[in-house]
Amino acid sequence: MKSSLLYPVFIIALACLSCNKHAKEEQKFDTLMQEVIDVHDEVMPKMGEISTLIKYLDPKIDTTATGKSYQKAQQDLKDSYDFMMKWMSDFSDTFPHEGEDDTMTSKKFASQMKLLREEEVKVNKLRDQINSSIENAKKLLKKS
């Protein structure tokens, strides 16, 4: 009789441990997702500044060495802008908001975490590219 009582207790304990592990996995995922979104939110307002700088650089572009440096700075800004638009589109495709499935198996969790870590690397690269292209353009415009 004692062994028949231990089996359900063991199953319940195992289920509780499994739920706890799942909750920790979800918390890791949610934390990393928030970090990725925070980086996006940090650089998204700079898109208007990028557009403005592109316009300011345009009349300064010519065939001289200085003009070519303005052209490169402008292209870097355009590349940063395009990178942001592509990253947002790709991110939305990878992590669609609507129709989310709240149940995540361990295998699905591992796959999603891997994708999210890759997005973290991309968004940090995006932030660095945006900030450096803006900084470079501003320095060039101050010289003129």
What is the pTM (predicted TM-score) of this model? 0.80
pLDDT digits 0-9 by tens, 16-67: 555 666 678 889 999 999 999 999 999 999 999 999 999 999 999 999 999 9
Q: Where are the alpha helices (DSSP H) in 44-105?
A: 46-57, 65-94
Write down the residue that tokens 């699905």 correspond to.
108
- Predicted local distance difference test score (pLDDT) of residue 96: 87
Q: How many Cβ atoms from other residues are within 10 Å of residue 46's Cβ?
A: 18
Question: Which secondary structure element, helix H or strand E, spans residue 2, and what is its range?
Answer: helix 2-43
Q: Positive or negative, the Cα torsion across 52, 55, 56, 62?
A: positive
Query: In which band, very low, low, confident or very high, does the pLDDT at 12 lie, cut at 50, 70 and 90?
Result: low
Phi/psi of residue 44, nearest 5 degrees = -60, -40
Q: Does residue 39 or residue 4 have the better pLDDT?
A: 39
For residue 102, give the amino acid letter: D
From the list 36, 26, 32, 34, the residue with the least C-alpha distance to 102 is 26
